[in-house]
Structure 1
Amino acid sequence: MSSWDFLVAKTDLRQARIAPVDASPLADGEARLAIERFALTANNVTYAVFGEQMRYWDFFPGPEGWGRIPVWGHARVEASTHPDLTVGQRFYGYYPMSTHLTVTPRKTRTGFADVAPHRANLPPVYNQYQAVGAASPAEDYQALLRPLFITGFLIEDFLDENALFGARSVLLTSASSKTAISLAFQLKQRGKARVVGLTSARNAAFVEGLGCYDQVVTYDAVVDAPIEEPAVLVDFAGDAPLRRAVHERFGDALAYSCVVGGTHWEAGPSDGRLPGPRPIFFFAPDRIRKRAGDWGPGGLDQRHDAAWAPFAADAPRWLRVIEGVGPDAMAQAYAAVVAGEAGPDEGHVLAPQG
């Protein structure tokens, strides 16, 4: 089985299967990329949870009722009928959990954009592929953390632009998640409010050891923990009962409530109107479009890369890469991540083929 897709049931994310794929001949102007390695984190589960609502399923269509979860990783050109892409070139970007991806490239300053018709009306940030050189160990951390870091970067920038809505504390649920860690790291560096991590008892010691949270509170202590007010909530968990507990605890002292992800995807839907502000979903591509206009050509990349460098340098201290090769390893890693069993200090990097 040389080519295959990893498919997930849209109505039950625990159901997954491997589907063989026959490689079709390339049309003029297309290229086929062999996916070398990609990261699998709770962020990818969030893509699946919001697959219909945010159109994540539309990037890589699958059979009726089944989806191909997007992941971030590296691939090389295996075949090409496009004049600007040659066999052997490597690109970092947004891929399916598959062995291959066929693209319709348009050359850009840093690589190419996939202009396939089915991606034309999807957020452009996910259609960009960056040319890279030879493989290196640093690529694993890039695949694991860079897509999450930019979300943290954009949230921190949004909060700073709004003067933290007057808050003295910023609360981050799922504080052990990699996106939350990236935001905490940047909030801590800015130093304008206390950074409070909300987490499970199981992960509390890990979160405390990161050094980027001023205070760590377990979920069962949210109601009466001494947290400075007013506060802002950044909800990475997507856990409706937890969100309600925070809203009821702070009421009007909650200055802003931001929903980012769904790491606690099985916690259930929202349970009606909440005290305090209405939760607002944070959609990173909208913020990217705004800042690209505000800061001009290259401005966003320059600011992001300056913030990314110290975070990336620190990552090996608290994150270890767990490698897997082939469809069985992929299925095992996916089952662990979707069940919430992956350790916070672990990062799965998978190679579809050896």
Structure 2
Amino acid sequence: MSTTSLLIRKDQLSTTRLHTATDEALADGQVRVRIDSFALTSNNITYAAFGDAMSYWRFFPSGEEGWGSIPVWGFASVVQSLHPGVPVGERLYGYWPMASSTVLSPGRLSPERFTDMAPHRAELPAVYNQYFRCASDPLYTAGTEDIQALLRPLFITSWLIDDFMADNDFFGANAMLLSSASSKTAYGTAFQMHKREGIEVIGLTSPANVAFCESLGCYDRVVTYDALDSIAADTPCVYVDFAGNGTLRNAIHERFANLKYSSSIGGTHVEQLAAKGAGKDLPGPRATLFFAPAQIKKRTTEWGPEEFGRRMVAAWHDFMATVTDAKAPWLHAEHHNGGVAVQAAYAQVLAGKGDPRTGHILSLCKESAAG
């Protein structure tokens, strides 16, 4: 057997190649999984953009200098097992390389999940090393795997951003400015914040995405990037930056004299990540990177793991019911099967092109003439 991977040039994210290698024999306690499908969103581009700074390249090392595998979220099936607690055929949700298969070293088994105990992952954030066993996973629902892969990791971040802001009394602000408002993490955050009393949720987006953002119903106002002056300059506000666009961040910091907090979530606008002055020497509060695992750790300590899980599961099912409403679904999945199709889909997502209602589901273990 062999494994096909999509490798990305770390210093030039647009450069990719397909790599196929013969599988090595499993060691005792290991399992091999077939990665059936995974989502590719701007969130994964953020993983690549911050790959060195935040250790994302370390999860699935390519073994080749200068090349990496971007972590993705999706579903896999156990096809070979030398672990007595993980049977062949078991379905798993979790964090994978962009590949047709991978090897895990399961430990800390419970009915709901286990942890990959591979030595190179020991120092990496634990939240990314957990694999959820679909048969007992409270977030799993059969028949919606595509939407789960697309939205689940992003919504958990969205839910945590909202919780972090509420935990800090929204830093005294009454308006939340969310950039890249058509992105999945932004509208998941808006969905949560929209329920908060006394908070106006303002989506910032490009003219092409205004209608989409307005159709969701979770933004109180949608404003184009070139119309910031339509928002009063003295508004007590928080900026939640999903775009990583340095020019936009500068404009917001310079316009809003009553900016209470500036939160950087990720970089969907890769070409702007290194924009001059981005995050440095700006008026107002210093832009602060939001790191979801830190909020998870805080809340699991305060609430306990069971209560944390209960709240998150309830929020997720509420969100899923809205997003998958047959009358007005927020998202539909587009499948890309096989190496060439996966490369093309990656290039499309990297370039930030496409309809915000379309979510990309990829597979390197399937081939399709239709792509």
TM-score, normalisation: structure 2: 0.92
Equivalent position of 2:5 in the other structure: 5
Counterpart CA distance in 2 for 1:113 and 1:235 is 31
Q: Within 5 Å, which residues of 2 pair with 1:107-122?
A: 107-109=108-110, 110-122=112-124
Contact 1:320 1:346 in 2 (8 A): yes
Contact 1:33 1:77 in 2 (8 A): yes
Q: 1:181 aligns with which of 159, 179, 187?
A: 187
- How far is the alpha carbon of 1:202 from its aligned partner? 1.1
Counterpart CA distance in 2 for 1:157 and 1:306 is 14
Contact 1:176 1:344 in 2 (8 A): yes
* Between 188-197 and 170-179, the greater mean CA deviation after superposition: 188-197
Contact 1:247 1:275 in 2 (8 A): yes
C-alpha change, 1:319 and 1:59, in structure 2 (3 Å) is same
The 3-state SS of whatever aligns with 1:274 is coil
Counterpart CA distance in 1 for 2:26 and 2:13 is 32
Equivalent position of 1:285 in the other structure: 293
The 3-state SS of whatever aligns with 1:234 is strand
Equivalent position of 1:298 in the other structure: 306
Deviations 1:186-222 (A, max 9, x none): 0001233000000011111111111000011100111
Structure 1 unaligned segments of length 5 or more: list them: none
1:126 and 2:131 aligned: no
- How far is the alpha carbon of 1:108 from its aligned partner? 2.6
Contact 1:32 1:79 in 2 (8 A): yes
C-alpha change, 1:268 and 1:142, in structure 2 (3 Å) is closer
The 3-state SS of whatever aligns with 1:303 is helix
Contact 2:34 2:365 in 1 (8 A): no
1:35 and 2:47 aligned: no
Equivalent position of 1:90 in the other structure: 91
- How far is the alpha carbon of 1:43 from its aligned partner? 0.5
* Between 183-192 and 265-274, the greater mean CA deviation after superposition: 265-274
C-alpha change, 1:189 and 1:227, in structure 2 (3 Å) is farther
- How far is the alpha carbon of 1:125 from its aligned partner? 0.2
Contact 1:171 1:196 in 2 (8 A): yes
- How far is the alpha carbon of 1:224 from its aligned partner? 4.3
Partner amino acid for 1:260?
A: I
CA RMSD in angstroms comes to 1.5
- How far is the alpha carbon of 1:268 from its aligned partner? 3.9
Q: Within 5 Å, which residues of 2 pair with 1:228-239?
A: 229-239=235-245
Deviation >3 Å, runs of 4+: 133-136, 223-228
Structure 2 unaligned segments of length 5 or more: list them: 367-371
Contact 1:40 1:350 in 2 (8 A): yes
Equivalent position of 1:158 in the other structure: 164
Counterpart CA distance in 2 for 1:227 and 1:32 is 56
Counterpart CA distance in 2 for 1:280 and 1:114 is 30
Q: Within 5 Å, which residues of 2 pair with 1:203-352?
A: 203-226=209-232, 229-251=235-257, 253-269=258-274, 270-271=276-277, 272-316=280-324, 317-352=329-364
Contact 2:207 2:224 in 1 (8 A): yes
1:167 and 2:179 aligned: no
- How far is the alpha carbon of 1:5 from its aligned partner? 0.8
Equivalent position of 1:56 in the other structure: 56
